[in-house]
Structure 1
Amino acid sequence: MKKLFFILLISINSFSQGIYEEERYVPETDPLVLEKLDEWQDKKFGLLMHWAPSSQWGVLASWSLCPEDYDWQKRTKGNNPNNYFKYKKEYEGLRKTFNPTKFNPEKWSKAAKDAGMKYMVFTTKHHDGFSMFDSKYTDYKITDKECAFSTNPKANITKEIFNAFRNEDFWVGAYFSKPDWNHENYWDPYFPPIDRNVNYDPLSHPEKWQKYVDFTHNQILELMTDYGKVDILWLDGGWVSKASDEETEKFNILKLKDSKGGYMKHKMVSQDIKMDELVLKARKKQPGLIVVDRAVYGKNQNYLTPENRVPDKTLPYPWESCITSSEGWSHRINSKYMKGREGIHTLIDIVAKGGNLLLNIAPTPEGDWEPQAYDLLKEFEAWMKVNSSAIYNTKPIAPYKEKNICMTQNKEGNVFLFYLAKEGENKIPSEIIVNSISPKKGAKIKMLGSNKKLKWEKMESGFKLLIPEELRNNLPSKHAWTLKIEAVN
């Protein structure tokens, strides 16, 4: 009984709060996808962008529409925050004033490329159902005449972003929400919404549910057909998936506390979106397409995505930590951004454990990024100019980290040690002792950004590296310094 409870606890936590490394993984078999996954794992650093008309309010995208009671989705904006139905109407009316005239995706793609990012994932549609692309299957979209931006030459925002990033040699990813809280066949107006799930029983209304399945497939296939080469289909809303009767009953009868001590108030409803069929159709349009059906165990989750956290260890499958650069996924007024040291250390920590970093930056309602976002990317840019060879095309080497030193290795057998500077530490120590790795006899060691050969001494366990004062006073980068070992035992 205790074992069953533990399994259910893991499952429910994964289901409600994101993907954790306890989850299982089903390896892909399509050779084209496997090839792309290998390439993707070498890219290491990507950009995620959440953007929608709700950015005008500076609220978390979509979630204030969900009739669940959590602190992070309170209704605080608009004229009717205490009347759900008036609030929803006012929220959806934000499209009428959404006019991001400063929209310049070429500026974003250039800044992201300079920072060392290699792929980009954009929210083509979040849970609120607003399509940031010119879909012919809905009027709730950026190009509809009721949207203030619809007359702009760049009104098809998704197409403009995809083209701008492809022109800078980025891989392009389409974020797409499987639940659509604006669509009448997901949240039927006849039934009041109860939680994040479909608000009727799909088994009792199969024709209505089939219409929603068709709508979802049609919108995704639009993105796969009309928007050029797409490398990643990044699906959110993991609760929209097929579940067995047993699984559904388990989720419905259990009430377990979440990480903050509150009770999870949503349940699991079997919502078969026919993902296997959809993936086959999508890959006919985009051969080798990487599909990330987040939080849904099965063959359509080609890599896993721990959310706003870094796993404690390496994971035995492809993975990516999606992490916010500021205080929310969507634009927040006066939001604080991570500093360069934190961002660089996060990237190093993730890469040393074999993962990728997908860093979220939220555009403003005017169509630009906050100055702090550009400042952060400038910090990445300066550091990556010196140290990127220790990031790209590398893999983990045990023990991955020793104290404040992370490790990677490349395909030539070189090993890189990242010395992570402590808060306020502007100089690397004159002596560094590493116990877990031993260079081969006669191996050369240099700091990236310097041609000076460093002296080292073999120890009973590991080695000691000597850093001359001249180099300590003229370090090639900030926040973290990388030592390249020619070869190790």
Structure 2
Amino acid sequence: MKSILLNCLFLIITMSAVQAQTDASSLDPYANETEAERDTRMEWFRAAKFGMFIHWGVYAVPAGIYKGEKVGKYGEWIMSDGSIPMAEYQRFAKKFNPIKYDPEAWVKLAKEAGMKYIVITSKHHDGFALFDSKVSKWDIVDASPYGKDLIAPLAEACKKHGIKLGLYYSQAQDWNQGGSARGKDKKGKWDPAQEHDMDDYIKNIAVPQVKEILTQYQPAILWWDTPRGMNKERAEQFLPLLKLAPGIIHNNRLGGDYKGDISTPEQFIPGTGLSGDWESCMTMNNTWGYKSYDHNWKSTETLIQNLVDIASKGGNFLLNVGPTAEGLIPEPSVERLKNMGEWMKKNSESIYGTSASPCRTPAWGRITTRTKGENTTLYLNVFDWPKSGNLFLPVTNKVQSCYLLVDKANKLKTKTDEQGTTISLAGEAPDSISSVIVLKLKGKPIVSDADNIKPDDEGNILLPAQKSIINNVIGSHVIYNKETDCIEQWSNEKATVDWDFSVDKAGTYTISMHIASEEESALELMIGDQKIEFKIATTEGFKTFNVGEIELDKTGNYSIHLKPKHKEWKAVMLKGVTISPK
């Protein structure tokens, strides 16, 4: 009898566990998706590569200025950064009257730029909806003189012109309707009127509004933002809604440990890309939402090279515009998008439908890949046209053909050996920003170690900033600056820097670093399982520090990893690292 009872108890527990797993899976329509099904669903996104982000709302009225003062970093955060009371902020909606809004012109501009999809803020953190919500009066129809849905005509224009529509929705933060607000005090409130119950907000505002936008507009993407305060129970209330828009793609910012379909690095390009599907979102100047005084526009060259860089690492580029309160995209944004479109007209074959480079990032530019059957096409986007007339990449396959994308009839000479392939170039670069060479190979790419940094004649291994692999994280924007020939803006302690190198002689090596720091800082250096921790004293300009010694007990390939030391890290600039035999 005891044995029977134990067996029954085990069966009940097992069935309960299976039921719980089934219930959890039934919430997420993609929980049991096969790899083939996922590939089909993600196919258009992976091929698109380039999209437009639109941050638009009531915050375009103050345009970054409150009580005569410039406020905050981003225009759309002005309510929080300026600690503006709810009642006062809501008065801005009375001046939000975008009578010059032309959604078809926006879509045509995106298409002219070579973009394949648009993601617009249906509701940002201030809680103002750009659609007619039935669960709130804090929307474009009820709270503004404009009085008409802004999303519907954009959705119609996207459909007309073959552009995919994505909708951004701030599910966790809502500073006007009881969501998880954030203020300067970091406690989440700056106005007593913001006292709230987040669970009540999720149930009665956020979930119904997501249901509204999925039902009404059938978007291809749902772009959550942010996961702050979103535990598993809160997040799970949104998952069943995804069934309302079959095939929809959603990002990794829902919360509750749900990874979504795409990772979303913000304002940076991961040094070696990311695993899985991902999309870098970036501003064109310094802000997402419109700020009247932000004129720090990125150049067309930077934007095009960012697009190429992201594609070469397997990601998509979501480039932002911040329209004015009247409904106009600022002219500098329009100008740059049209310039990008001119480049894309000639070179989009090297972007659309491509995958990541088989090689590490070359000094002269970036590489994208297209595979067809057993053969491979590499697109060599050359940023710096070689003065020597020779372009090298460490790929040893048999070359079937090589030519400029803009001049297919003019075949380029190549020479391949065990180290790689050298392409002979003549004359000036056909494009001052990025010239594309098409290299067709027999088979899948075979990459040699020739691109690893090797010792010089004296055995020294020089690791310059230009050849570093910068691994950024959200909130960091570490960059290599060609003008200063150094790694800059390394202030975030979670960002790291790597190099790959080779040694031809085993032994003890000393490591030095050419670095500048305005405050005392600290780093960790790792090669394999060996680690050196060291401090960097305050410098005036650049100074060479002896870091320590490390044992490389065999010849071959290595990687060096630089990581800021937690709580002791201060911003530095780095020219490079030297590894010398003792």
User: Contact conserved, 2:63 with 2:290, CA < 8 A, in 1?
Assistant: yes
Q: What letter matches 2:206 in structure 1?
A: T
Matched, 1:180 2:174: yes
**Shift, 1:158, TM fit:** 1.1
Report the counterpart of residue 30 of structure 1 in structure 2: 33
Q: 1:321 to 1:185 in 2, by over 3 A?
A: closer
Matched, 1:391 2:345: no
Find the structure with the greater CA-based Rg: 2
Q: 1:55 to 1:112 in 2, by over 3 A?
A: same
Deviations 1:161-194 (A, max 9, x none): 2221222211111100012111146669xxx996
Pick aligned residue for 1:58 from 60, 63, 80: 63
User: Contact conserved, 2:300 with 2:336, CA < 8 A, in 1?
Assistant: yes
Matched, 1:221 2:221: no
Pick aligned residue for 2:367 from 407, 411, 420: 407
**Residues in 2 aligned to 1:124 and 1:88: alpha-carbon distance in whole angstroms:** 20
Q: What letter matches 2:230 in structure 1?
A: S
Pick aligned residue for 1:44 from 45, 49, 52: 49
Matched, 1:420 2:379: no
**Shift, 1:211, TM fit:** 5.2
Report the counterpart of residue 157 of structure 2 in structure 1: 164
Report the counterpart of residue 327 of structure 1 in structure 2: 286
Aligned residue pair count: 394
User: Contact conserved, 2:405 with 2:437, CA < 8 A, in 1?
Assistant: yes
SS in 1 for 2:51: strand
**Residues in 2 aligned to 1:196 and 1:399: alpha-carbon distance in whole angstroms:** 46
Question: TM-score under structure 1 normalisation?
Answer: 0.75
Pick aligned residue for 1:232 from 221, 226, 236: 221
Q: 1:185 to 1:375 in 2, by over 3 A?
A: closer
Query: Could you say which structure has the greater relative contact order, defined with CA pairs below 8 angstroms and 6 or more residues apart?
Result: 1
Q: What letter matches 2:119 in structure 1?
A: V
**Residues in 2 aligned to 1:185 and 1:444: alpha-carbon distance in whole angstroms:** 59
SS in 1 for 2:141: coil
**Residues in 2 aligned to 1:310 and 1:211: alpha-carbon distance in whole angstroms:** 34
**Residues in 1 aligned to 2:307 and 2:165: alpha-carbon distance in whole angstroms:** 20
Equivalent residue runs for 1:252-401 within 5 Å: 272-273=233-234, 275-283=235-243, 285-294=244-253, 296=255, 298-334=257-293, 335-401=295-361
Higher strand proportion: 2
**Residues in 2 aligned to 1:28 and 1:347: alpha-carbon distance in whole angstroms:** 32
SS in 2 for 1:486: strand
Equivalent residue runs for 1:72-91 within 5 Å: 73=81, 75=82, 84=83, 87-91=85-89
SS in 2 for 1:160: helix
Deviates further, 446-455 or 289-298: 289-298
**Residues in 2 aligned to 1:185 and 1:360: alpha-carbon distance in whole angstroms:** 25
Q: 1:45 to 1:365 in 2, by over 3 A?
A: same
Question: TM-score under structure 2 normalisation?
Answer: 0.63
Q: 1:460 to 1:62 in 2, by over 3 A?
A: closer
Q: What letter matches 1:312 in structure 2?
A: G
SS in 1 for 2:358: coil
Matched, 1:122 2:76: no
Q: 1:198 to 1:242 in 2, by over 3 A?
A: farther
Q: 1:185 to 1:42 in 2, by over 3 A?
A: closer
**Residues in 2 aligned to 1:323 and 1:185: alpha-carbon distance in whole angstroms:** 26
User: Contact conserved, 1:28 with 1:34, CA < 8 A, in 2?
Assistant: no
Report the counterpart of residue 145 of structure 2 in structure 1: 148
Deviates further, 165-174 or 342-351: 165-174
User: Contact conserved, 1:383 with 1:478, CA < 8 A, in 2?
Assistant: no
SS in 1 for 2:441: coil
Deviates further, 129-138 or 405-414: 405-414
SS in 2 for 1:359: strand
**Residues in 1 aligned to 2:209 and 2:438: alpha-carbon distance in whole angstroms:** 48
**Shift, 1:51, TM fit:** 0.5
5+ residue gaps in structure 2? 1-29, 65-73, 191-195, 447-582
SS in 1 for 2:52: strand
Q: What letter matches 2:402 in structure 1?
A: I
Report the counterpart of residue 433 of structure 1 in structure 2: 391
User: How many percent of aligned residue pairs carry the same amino acid?
Assistant: 27
Matched, 1:479 2:433: yes
SS in 2 for 1:395: coil
SS in 1 for 2:255: coil
Q: 1:398 to 1:295 in 2, by over 3 A?
A: farther
**Residues in 2 aligned to 1:420 and 1:465: alpha-carbon distance in whole angstroms:** 15
Deviations 1:211-269 (A, max 9, x none): 53232111000001112x311111102113116xxxxxxxxxxxxxxxxxxxxxxxxxx
**Residues in 2 aligned to 1:377 and 1:185: alpha-carbon distance in whole angstroms:** 35
CA root-mean-square deviation: 2.7
Deviations 1:33-65 (A, max 9, x none): 542223211111011000012112112345233
Report the counterpart of residue 100 of structure 1 in structure 2: 98
Q: 1:196 to 1:213 in 2, by over 3 A?
A: farther
**Shift, 1:361, TM fit:** 0.7
Q: What letter matches 1:175 in structure 2?
A: Y
**Residues in 1 aligned to 2:267 and 2:433: alpha-carbon distance in whole angstroms:** 21
**Residues in 1 aligned to 2:181 and 2:258: alpha-carbon distance in whole angstroms:** 28
Q: Kindly report structure 1 stretches of 4+ aligned residues shifted beyond 6 Å.
A: none
